[in-house]
Structure formats: structure tokens, C-alpha cells
Structure 1
Amino acid sequence: MAKLESIVGRYLTIEASGREYRIYFEEAGSGIPLLCLHTAGADSRQYRHLLNDPEVTRNFRVIAFDMPYHGRSNPPDQWWLDKYLLTTDQYLSVIRAVWKGLDLDRPVVMGCSMGGAIVLKVASEYQSELRGVVGLETSAYAPGRFNDFLHHPAIHGGELVASYTFGLNAPQSPESSARENWWYYSQSGPGVYRGDTYFYSVDWDGREVIKSIDTEKCKVSLLTGVYDYSATPEMTRDVAAAIPGSRLVIMEGMGHFPVIENYPVFRESLLPELQFMLD
């Protein structure tokens, strides 16, 4: 029997860091805006379970978008003239442009992995305009991920990145879900994952940034999987310790990709944090 989902996909043209981008986004639900950021080298398809969760969409307008170069969003004009290297300022500029372009009023911003890192910068810069941030697999400092083998003519970049990230799923996660995430990663454009890790592992150091976050203005929830060896529980504990009033959840049976690798288990940890954002 055919089944029609309630997710609606659209395109938004924005200007960020002096360049124009055609951005793809999906949304479902109504209420408080929940702006969702995908992981490095992937796209917003990772959030399909969240977008289809009626307990979430009852209170939240869930919006998930593809960063430039990712998924169904285009690179900017003349992209072939430069190597893609994402910086903190560029990343923040795109998020802000989508936020303002969709006219979101006091959103909650949720991101995973590199998205879980940049939400800390979002909170620091715009805390008075936010309801809160939810950081999934969050770290303030994660050197060592960036290397040139991620974009090398002798290596199949899609399969390399997909298989590396496959190992970041928890052993308990259903193989079908982990393979789904593998598929998304295998479709990444040449050098895109490498360019994302430039932000995540070279340009980004939020250890001083996070000290300015005031949880009386902007709520902070941090959720990390116990099996994550990329953004480890210890890394997230360090972030939580530096942000008084933040909430920390270490998720049993979960790896680096909670929104896609085992959503039924993940939502048990997420729903109380979303309720915290509502209160």
C-alpha cells in the first residue's frame, strides 16, 4: 500500500559570506522551529525519522537542510576554481542565512558531529535570539581528522568515507540503518568530507567560545553515544563542564549517528531534552 509522508521539500536561495547558494531543505510539523544540521559529508536525509515522528512534529516545526555542496544543495557558482574547505565563519554564515531566510523566531538549533560542534558557536553568537541548542556528539576541539587521503586520485573517496563512518555506529544498531547512513556518505561529492573536516578538525576550537554561553538565555542539551570514538563521551563531558547549567546525556547503545543509526533508541533520550526546550 502506498504511503505518503508529511515531509515537504523546497529550495531557498541565500547569500552567505558574499556568495549565493541554492539550499535544499525539508520540513514537517508546526510550532517552535527546530533547525537541524547534518553530519560532515552527509545530508539532511539523516533526519527523516525525526521529520516523521508525530510526537516531535506536534510541537516543533522541524527543518533540516543540506549545506552547500551536500545532498541536494548546489555548490556556488565557479565552485571548480577553489578547493572546498569549510571554515567556522562560513559555516555560521550559512546557518544564519537559512535561519533568517526562513524567518525563524527563537528556534532551537540541533546538530550532530560537526553540526554538534557549530551549535556551540551559534549559541555563543546568538544566544539572546535562541530558545536553545541540542548538541549531538558534540566536541569543542577535535584535531586529527583532516588528511589528504580523503580526496586522493588513487582512492575511492565515497567508499572510503562511507566505510570509515560505518565503523562509528554502535554494534547494537540495526545493520539496515547503519547501511543507510553508509549510502548517504557514499554519495558525497569529491573532497566534500575532507572540506568539512577542515572546519571540524583544523579551524574549529571552541574551548574559549563555550565559556560565553549563558544557559539562562539559551538552554543547552548535550547527548553523546557511549560507543562514539570520534566525539567521545569524555569530549562532551568537557563541554558540559565548561557550560554551567547545561544538560548532559551519555546514551547507552549508541554511536556517532543517533538520528539515523538507531532512531527508536535515540528518541528515548531526545524527547526529554525537547520537552526541556519547551518548558
Structure 2
Amino acid sequence: MIEAHYVEVGGSLSYVEVAGDGPAVLCVHTAGQSGVQWRHTTGDLAARGHRVVVPDLPGHGRSEPAPDGPVDDLGRYAEWLRRLISALDLDRPFVVGCSIGGKIALDLATRWSDELSGVVAMAAEAGTGSVRVAGLQRELEDVAAASRTDRTYLGTLAVVGSALPPERAELIAQMHRREDPVVSTSDLIGWGTHDVRDRLGAITCPTLLVAGEDDLWVDPARVRATAADIPHASCVVLPGIGHYPMEEIVGFADVLHDWIRELQRASGPGERGKA
């Protein structure tokens, strides 16, 4: 059963879903979206022996806005998640994120590796990538345009993988167009200015980077380069998958469960058998 909670973190109430018992897995959504992106994963992963925790970041989904407005610094989201981990008394969770969620997971690991059991960063690299921040800042002046939701819809269709049936791609795109454009654009400004390349050597927890072969936003070569700069990290490239593996892959909970078991094995004998 999935439990819903409102938790006060950083001066505002945040919506969090929790399911299952076992090693904690904190799942972080993409820019402008919410924990609903993990709806096909939460229950099934919990059934595999995990305590699955899925928050809506401040200003997203059912969470209240951040007290000082939309967040455009992913490092602040990392600090917020650390406070959430403390508020929920999670013991060294695995952190799994996609897109900005993947970059936030890497940020956490560069600063607080000893507080994590491992990280799975999907559709994310350590540098700023190819986002044009100046263009995004101009978009903040035009986020109310009727075409904005259409751009989100069409943009989502463009970055899902070729392996998806058309009806699944359509569902993902329809779900994504419900985002708040001010929040999502602020998130993407955070994406375009976030750079932890000089801190990757500080990551000591087991780390897996995941790239979709068909992702038009994140070059798998840059993801591999990020993995190469993290001690003992590994990298997986998913054929036929785009920017949203947890939404695109049927049975993603099983895939994620296997990745977590690999991270546990990388942690050493003390972590084995916990999943």
C-alpha cells in the first residue's frame, strides 16, 4: 500500500509517497514534473523489498511552492532532499533520479556520499550540457503563451525512445504537458547552470549512470565521460530508450531492483542480502 504524507521541509509542506519496507530508495522526478512519473515503479519496487520514497519537489505536483519562489539552483534541491532524508529518518538511502533528478542525485553524492548507500543517475551528466540559459530566461517572460503546453507535449514526444509503442509515448507526453511552465523553466535554468565536474572525485558511494540511446537532450558519450570521472562508477546505455527510462520501460521496477542489487554488491559484503 502506498501512503501519502505532507512533510514540512525548508519552511513549506511537501507531498511525499511512501511504500514498502526495507532499504530506502528515494526517487526524484524530472524538470517541472512530479512523483507521478514513478507511478508504475513505486508499488512494484516496494514489493521487491524496498522502502520507496517519492517526493514532489517544492513547487511541483502537490507540494507547496518554495518560500522564496521557483528554484533555479539544483544545489538547493540537493540540500532540500538532504533535509527530507533527515525528516523521514531514512538510513543511508539509495537515491535514484532522472534528468534534473539525476543531476541532483550526483550533487548529493559529491557532498554527502557517506550518508547514501548508492546513486542511480539517469539522463544526467555532471556538466552544464547544451541548455541555452539566456533563451530559457527569455521564456520566463512568455510562459503564459497558449503554445507553451504544446511545446512541452511535442518536445516530450521528440525525446522518448524509438522502442516505445505510440500509445505509451502519447500517454507520457499528455502527462508532461500539465507542468507549471514557470517552475519547469526555472528547473531547466538550474540544469543549464549546474556543474559538479570538479567534485566528482569526492563521490565514494557506489554510483551508476544511465543513458538512453535515443535521448536527444543528453549525449550518452557525455554520460560515459561523467562515469569515468567518478571512482568505481559504472555506466549503462539503454537501446531504444530516450530521456525518461522509468516511464518508457515496462517493468522498470525489476530493472531498477537489479541495478540496486549491483550497487549493493559494489558496497561490499556488509551490504549484501539487504534487498
TM over 0.5: yes
1:120 has 2:115 as partner: no
CA distance in 1, matches of 2:141, 2:154: 15
Q: Which amino acid aligns with 2:114?
A: S
Alignment of 1:1-279 (within 5 A): 6-15=1-10, 20-53=11-44, 57-77=47-67, 84-141=70-127, 142-146=129-133, 147=136, 148-149=138-139, 152=142, 153-202=144-193, 204-214=194-204, 218-264=205-251, 266-267=252-253, 269-278=255-264, 279=272
Q: Which runs of 5+ in 1 are unaligned?
A: 1-5
Deviation per CA, 1:31-56, whole angstroms, max 9, x where unpaired? 001001000011100101111215x5
Partner AA of 1:124 in structure 2: T
Match of 2:269?
Answer: none
SS across alignment from 1:24: strand
TM-score, normalised via structure 2 length: 0.88
Q: Deviations over 1:16-37 (max 9, x none)?
A: xxxx121111121110010010
Contact kept? 2:17, 2:55, Cα under 8 Å: yes
Q: Return the letter of the residue paired with 2:79.
A: S
The aligned amino acid for 2:7 is: L
Aligned residue identity for 1:232: D
* Structure 1 position 176, deviation (Å): 3.0
Instruction: Indicate conservation of the 8 Å contact 2:32/2:181, yes or no.
Output: no
Is the CA contact 1:151–1:191 (under 8 Å) kept in the aligned structure 2?
Answer: no
CA apart distance, 1:272: 2.4
Given that residues 151 and 194 in structure 1 are in contact (C-alpha distance below 8 angstroms), is that contact kept between their aligned partners in structure 2?
no
Q: How far 1:166 sits from its partner (Å)? A: 2.2
Q: Distance in 1 between matches of 2:209 and 2:75?
A: 22
> Equivalent residue for 2:267?
none
Q: Paired residues, what number?
A: 260
Gap regions ≥5 residues in structure 2: 265-271
For residues 115-172 of structure 1, give each alpha carbon's deviation from its aligned partner in whole angstroms, at most 9, with x where no partner exists. Answer: 1111111111111111111111121111424422365144532232232122110122
User: Is the Cα contact below 8 Å between 1:34 and 1:60 reproduced in 2?
Assistant: yes
**Contact preservation (8 Å) 1:211, 1:243:** yes
Identity %: 31
TM-score w.r.t. structure 1 length? 0.87
SS, match of residue 52 in structure 1: helix
Q: 1:183 to 1:145 in 2, by over 3 A?
A: farther
Provide closer, same or farther for how the CA distance between residues 135 and 119 of structure 1 changes in structure 2, counting only shifts above 3 A: same
| 1:32–1:59 CA contact under 8 A, matched in 2 | yes
CA drift at 1:111? 0.3
